[in-house]
Amino acid sequence: MGDIILTMKDIDKSFPGVHALDHVNFEVRRGEVHALMGENGAGKSTLMKVLTGIYTKDSGTITFEGKEVEFHNTREAQDAGIVIVHQELNMLGHLTVAQNIFIGREFKKGIYIDDRRMNEEAKKLFDKLHIDIDPTEIMSNLTVGKQQMCEIAKAISHDAKVIIFDEPSAALTEAEIEELFKIIRDLRKQNLGIVYISHRMDEIKVITDRVTVMRDGCYVGTLITEKCTKDDIINMMVGRVIYEDPKTESAVPKDVPIVLKVENLNAGRMVQNVSFELRKGEILGFSGLMGAGRTETARAIFGADAKTSGDIYVNGKKVEINSPQDAVKCGIGYLSEDRKRFGIVVQKSVAENSTMASLENFVKGIFINKKEEKKIAQKYVESLATKTPSTDQLVVNLSGGNQQKIVIAKWLVRDCDILIFDEPTRGIDVGAKNEIYKLMNRLAEEGKSIIMISSEMTEILRMSDRIVVMCEGKKTGEIDISEASQELIMNMATREIE
């Protein structure tokens, strides 16, 4: 490890209602691979966005190569030598590899683009990285792994001194990860500073020199990778006090009937052989890190996406669910994590949204019985304590928490017995959050069965009777709430991938 190339000191950043970064410290040395770890929402991405000029910091200093700097956009950061390799690739599939690498700064010969020179330069870059890719190949013909290498080559071509990898291995195969590590070691040898963001504990142990852990927007500490264990890191990640009294034992007796049974569900790469059972009146928490395949599992059960195989039983009877229509007929309702896109029709009123899933019950002859519709909508506005001036209000004008209640009302009007809540409190302020929690508990007491997907550990521990943990599309654990702890869940959620 060489001298310090980059120091971020006392970085503070707030968004309305959220203190995203609370005086965070972070440093990178030349020739080191520095892991940045933390749960979902710990502030890793925000910190990197502050560094590369996507967000402006509220206070604190960034020192790069001995000089204090402040970037206003990624371009400025790039020019200074700090580049980020994103998780999602930003490549244009129809262009060649070389054209992608030099996009926006093409070599020209008169008014023509000098493709030959770009190919030569790209070849030189690849040679330097010991990568074997043909610069004239069309980008979309490459595997995801190769595309990522092009992305790295592009970063290097900016004369980078610090490269940030944001979950680079998420979409790669084992062999591709090996190759990626070879390149990263190479870059380390060339004295570059490397920031490596990943959830995969085993990778952290293999490739990084130091680990900085963040939690809830705060800097927790920095460890030398060699000298610490996986448990040390996990303890730092989750060592949070749970102030909202967690459930200590399940409220559901062992002998209540099973309402939903899923067996060996498969749907693409993100859902592999998932099996579980849901009991009547139970809240089943689905925990895991981003991209663990929980939403994909829910969507496959609900018929929103096609599944490749697997059996679903509702109340002991095997059912065929190939579309949301089928699922709704079986009494399953799905509340998406993205309300605006998948939950509500913003240009329609509260009443119209409330009956969206059960309109046939409100049709008299050929006409919609709007009086009846408003009555039922009003009933749920009252029982869910939705804040809206009237049931004629367009939902676009409601706050996030109230929009969520409209989606809940939609499934209650339909009288669904199985409700899948996907991140039910995302983007909802604290007060409304508590209301949603109370509501979920009430629904469970009334005999509704709930699957709750949540990335918030506190939410999982507070609400669930039982917890299913997923990692990389597989179910990696199932625990009763009485045995659950943050450490145990995090351990299951970061299981090493064989």
Partner 1 sequence: MEKIKQNPIIRKIGINRIVLCGVLLLMYVIFCILSDNFVGMQRIMSALNYAYFLGFLSLGVTFVIATGGIDFSIGPVMFCSALISGYCLTHYGVPLAVSLVISILVGLMFGIFNGYFVAYWTVPPFIISMASMNIAKGLASVFTKTQSVSWPQSADANGWYRNLVKVGGFPVGLVIFLVFAILCSIILNQTKAGRYILSLGSNKEAVRLSGVNVKKWEMLAYIICGILVGIAAIFFVAAYTTVQPGYGDQYNNEAIAGCVMGGTSMAGGLASISGTVIGVFIIALLQEGILALGFTKDYQLIITGIIVIVAVYADVSTRRRKN
d(CA 470, CA 222): 27
Closest contact distance (angstroms) between CB of 61 and partner 1 is: 36
Q: Does 317 bind partner 1 (CB under 8 A)?
A: no
Closest contact distance (angstroms) between CB of 388 and partner 1 is: 18
Residue from 77, 184, 271, 328 touching partner 1 (CB under 8 A): that is 328
Q: Does 319 bind partner 1 (CB under 8 A)?
A: no
* 487: nearest Cα among 477, 474, 497: 477
Sign of CA pseudo-dihedral 197, 201, 206, 210: positive
By beta-carbon proximity to partner 1, the closer residue of 129 and 327 is: 327
Q: Does 374 bind partner 1 (CB under 8 A)?
A: no
Q: Does 344 bind partner 1 (CB under 8 A)?
A: yes
Residue from 102, 302, 380, 421 touching partner 1 (CB under 8 A): that is 302
d(CA 465, CA 471): 20
Residue 289 near residue 455 (C-beta atoms within 8 A): yes
Q: Does 258 bind partner 1 (CB under 8 A)?
A: no
427-462 core/surface letters (b: 16 or more CB in 10 A; e: else): bbeeebbebbbebbbebbeeebbbbbbbbbbebbbb
Q: How many residues bind partner 1 (CB under 8 A)?
A: 30
Q: Does 371 bind partner 1 (CB under 8 A)?
A: no
By beta-carbon proximity to partner 1, the closer residue of 360 and 446 is: 360
What residues from 403 to 462 belong to the interface with partner 1 (CB under 8 A)? Answer: 410, 414
Residue from 89, 138, 171, 346 touching partner 1 (CB under 8 A): that is 346
Q: Does 325 bind partner 1 (CB under 8 A)?
A: yes
By beta-carbon proximity to partner 1, the closer residue of 179 and 422 is: 422
Q: Does 154 bind partner 1 (CB under 8 A)?
A: no
By beta-carbon proximity to partner 1, the closer residue of 49 and 410 is: 410
Q: Does 396 bind partner 1 (CB under 8 A)?
A: yes
Residues in the chain: 498
Residue from 54, 228, 368, 497 touching partner 1 (CB under 8 A): that is 368
In the complex, the residues that contact partner 1 under the rule CB under 8 A are: 302, 304, 324-325, 327-329, 334, 336, 341-348, 352, 356-357, 359-360, 363, 366-368, 370, 396, 410, 414
